[in-house]
Amino acid sequence: MKISLESYLVKDKISLADISTKADPKVKRDEVESSLFPQITQEICTLQEKLWAENKHGLIILFQGMDAAGKDSAVKRVFSEVNPAGLSIVSFKAPSEEELDHDYLWRINKALPPRGVIGIFNRSHYEDVVTVRLHDLIKNGPLPDEIKNDSDIWKDRYEQICNWEKYLYQNGFHMIKIFLHVSKDEQRKRLAERLINPDKHYKFDLGDIRERQYWDRYQDLYSDMLCRSSTKYAPWYVLPADNKWFTRLLIAMLVRDTLRAIDPQFPELSDDVKSQIHTVKTLFEDVDMKDFGDAILKLSKSKKK
């Protein structure tokens, strides 16, 4: 089964209206769920362990999309095999008063993962060039008037964001930006499920219903976002999101391929540690298990002398 992730990469000017939200009909769901997806998630687990052990690179995976596009469930499934200690997951809601008292990237900077960790952003700084722009939230915000009234404010913000993402890349932090492209009809079905299914009532938010009236405007602003901010060091991928099993496969492939490109390695052991391992292995072979603890204790004391 050959799937080209290149076809989902944003390279030129695009319109979301022209991009499919459906799974590739040539890809078989049974094959994906029974073998391919589990294999990829297991490889992600192995690569993440090396990323953690090497402690040189960080990876940021950023999700954007309309409400009910499948962001939460994708994270849950794709990273199910990864050690939670090596994951950092942050969901960005409407900014608090404290966050509004700082620049718009302040809360994003606070959430960046350390080296060796995969950081997952459910929504991100791109809310500040899409939702903020759509609802004209700048107008009542705490920014100086000369910035609020600057006709280049959105151009400037995209420039700031791209420079910031390049800065992160040049400091060893890689970024995958994923737009989950769900159709309006599929979103309606998923929002309806939150009303009908008691197990999903906790997901219901009246705001999600209200935002549907702005669907076309959101599509235009997201299309603009994708064109303005997809770069070689922080690329955007538009993934069809109507079929969750296929979306999760593509996400897993992107994460795996990015980790492969980073190529993390287990650190080389010092001669001293190698010597200790050799000594302990010899003890393990020569000493009865019930006396093994005493033997290690004696070895430890002799090393201190």
pLDDT for 303 equals 61
Predicted pLDDT at 48: 98
Query: Which whole number is the average pLDDT over 28-32?
Result: 97
94: confidence class by pLDDT, cuts 50, 70, 90:
very high
- For residue 262, pLDDT beyond 90: yes
Coil, helix or strand for 82? coil
Q: Is the pLDDT of residue 253 over 70?
A: yes
Is 60 exceeded by the pLDDT of residue 289?
A: no
Residue 182, phi-psi category: left (phi > 0), alpha (psi -120 to 50), beta (remainder): beta
pLDDT computed for residue 70 by the predictor? 96
Residue 302 pLDDT grade (very low, low, confident, very high; cuts 50, 70, 90): low
Question: Rg of the Cα trace of the chain?
Answer: 24
Cβ-count burial 193-219 (b if 16+ within 10 Å, e if not): ebeeeeeeeebeeeebeebeeeeeebb
CATH 3.40.50.300 fits 6-262, yes or no: yes
pLDDT confidence of residue 291:
65
Q: Cα dihedral sign for 156, 157, 161, 164?
A: positive
What is the distance between the alpha carbons of residues 64 and 70, in angstroms, rounded to a whole number?
10
Domain locations in the chain as residue ranges: 6-262, 271-303
Cα 300 from Cα 305, distance rounded (Å): 9
- Would you call 21 exposed, middle or buried from its count of C-beta atoms within 10 A (0-12, 13-18, 19+)? buried
pLDDT score at 290: 59
CA 78 to chain centre: 10
Look at residue 191 and tell me whether its pLDDT is greater than 70. Answer: yes
Model pLDDT, residue 280:
74
Mean pLDDT throughout 225-244? Answer: 98
Answer yes or no: are the C-beta atoms of 178 and 64 closer than 8 Å.
yes
Average pLDDT over residues 236-242: 99
Predicted local distance difference test score (pLDDT) of residue 274? 84
Structure tokens at 240: 């069809």
Pick from 7-16, 45-54, 133-142, 281-290: least confident:
281-290
| Helices assigned H by DSSP within the chain | 29-31, 37-54, 71-78, 97-100, 106-110, 131-134, 145-148, 153-170, 184-196, 206-211, 215-229, 244-262, 271-286, 289-304
Average pLDDT over residues 48-74: 98
CA distance 170 to 154: 24
pLDDT at 145 exceeding the cut of 70 = yes
Distance CA 107, CA 125 (A): 9
Residue count (the chain): 305
Segment 283-288 shows an average pLDDT of 65
Give residues with Cβ within 8 angstroms of 242, minimum separation 6. Answer: 21, 22, 23, 182, 183, 186
Give residue 90's pLDDT band: very low, low, confident or very high (50, 70, 90): very high
Which run of H or of E encompasses 176? strand 173-181
Rounded to the nearest 5°, which phi and psi values hold at 204? -65, 135
What pTM value is reported for the model?
Answer: 0.91
Which residues does 73 contact at the CB level (< 8 Å), separation at least 6? 244
What pLDDT is recorded for position 270? 86
pLDDT above 80 (res 240): yes
- pLDDT, mean over the chain: 94
Indicate whether 305 pLDDT > 60. no
